[in-house]
Amino acid sequence: MHRHLRAAVSMSITLVFTPALTACLQPEQLGGTEQSTNVGDLGSALGFDVATGTTTGLSNDTMPLCTSSNAPDATYTWTAPSAGAYIFTTLGSTFDTVLEVFQREDLHCNDDSNGTLQSTVNVRLAAGERVGIVIDGFSTANGNYQLNIARISTDGLQLWLRGDAGITTSSRVGVWADQSGNGRNAVMSVATRQPFFAPGTIAGWPTVRFTGAESMTFASEVAPTGYTIFIVGRNTNSAETFSIILGPSGNLPNNQLRWDNGTQALFVDTAASPLITTSTIGNTRVFHALAVRHDGLMQSVYRDGNLVSSITSSLSGPWRLGSLGSFYSDAFLHGDIAEILVYARPLAEAERLEVNDYLRNKYHLP
């Protein structure tokens, strides 16, 4: 992979990251002598403070390809402990960051992550795959940085919507791009029916806001048989009536996942027995992670990673869902949605906890 660097003299050179990045990233190879870039190997650490430090006083060795920068930067290497989707962020940094991750021959670069001055890069890695990470600043910005690395499984991931990715508008959201790689974008072409983009709503991250008149339709239906679904958001309906989160569209059956009132979630699955289930999950009007898992024999519901209900339930087919925020273009959602993940399989307990830890750390949930 190729990377243009600033040298100590007036010229540009190219840094090539080979598959074995361990020996390549030595200070003298990052633009000549007298370089003060922080070069380190982070091993396979995961968490929300994998690396901390300051770029102030470091040298300006790299030139990011996604924005303009004359700022000092810090460089690291890191190795994926297992296959999966990895989310690199600079949340917690004190300046306008730029983040680059070098994966094989590809460069992933991000300046502002949808409504924040922090950066997010999402890449899929194989077990043992090594990457280079550069923490840079927009223009001349520098200061204290925090690098966070989280992993989630991509096996069976059917839909992944994130408020900090896949949205290009600054006001209303006509397309919310699916980050799972399956192309199940949530779309709404009618401007007056488009939900609102709400930056900085939860722990500095944006949400997509529905006020009771907006909805989106998936490019193709979500139809898991056996599933684990995670939703980070809050119910903003002040009345003790329901707010549809996921619902039917077109000719799909009457399937729903909704906040039923201020304390309960309700699930309608026409391929399940029983067809309707209700779970008391606690205050729905504060941000929380709602999760439901079905293994074909049991439906389990979780709030912020903790089991709140479990019932015997059977499945005869997929849970077919076609829209976000409405019931057949009616009964619209009142709520803020920060993230949705739909797996077409019941996650193992360790995997479920892994996703919950990612969401909990990212959104500062209990």
* pLDDT single digits (tens) 53-87: 999 999 998 888 888 899 999 999 999 999 988 99
pLDDT confidence of residue 28: 33
* Calpha distance 181→281 (Å, rounded): 31
Up-side HSE of residue 245: CA atoms within 13 Å toward CB? 31
Length of the chain: 366
Task: Give 3's pLDDT tier (boundaries 50, 70, 90).
Answer: very low
Once rounded to an integer, what is the mean pLDDT over residues 297-322? 97
Closest C-alpha to 292, from 270, 309, 316: 309
pLDDT confidence of residue 115: 64
pLDDT at 346 over 90: yes
Give domain 2-152's CATH number out of 3.40.50.300, 3.40.50.12280, 3.10.20.30, 2.60.120.380. 2.60.120.380
pLDDT tens digits along 319-328? 999 999 999 9
Q: What residue spans in the chain does CATH classification 2.60.120.200 cover?
A: 157-363
pLDDT confidence of residue 114: 63
Where does 157-363 sit in CATH, by number? Answer: 2.60.120.200
pLDDT confidence of residue 105: 72
pLDDT at 300 over 50: yes
Once rounded to an integer, what is the mean pLDDT over residues 338-346? 98
* 275 φ, ψ (degrees, to nearest 5): -75, -35
Question: In this structure, what is the dihedral angle of CA atoms 138, 176, 185, 124, given to the nearest 10 degrees?
Answer: 30
The residue to which tokens 């907006």 are assigned: 214
Q: What residue spans in the chain does CATH classification 2.60.120.380 cover?
A: 2-152
200: number of Cβ within 10 Å: 11
Q: Is 95 in a helix, a strand, or coil?
A: coil
Q: Is residue 226 within 8 Å of 296, Cβ to Cβ?
A: yes
Per the model's pLDDT, the better-predicted residue between 29 and 125 turns out to be 125
pLDDT at 33 over 80: no
H or E stretch including 355? helix 349-363
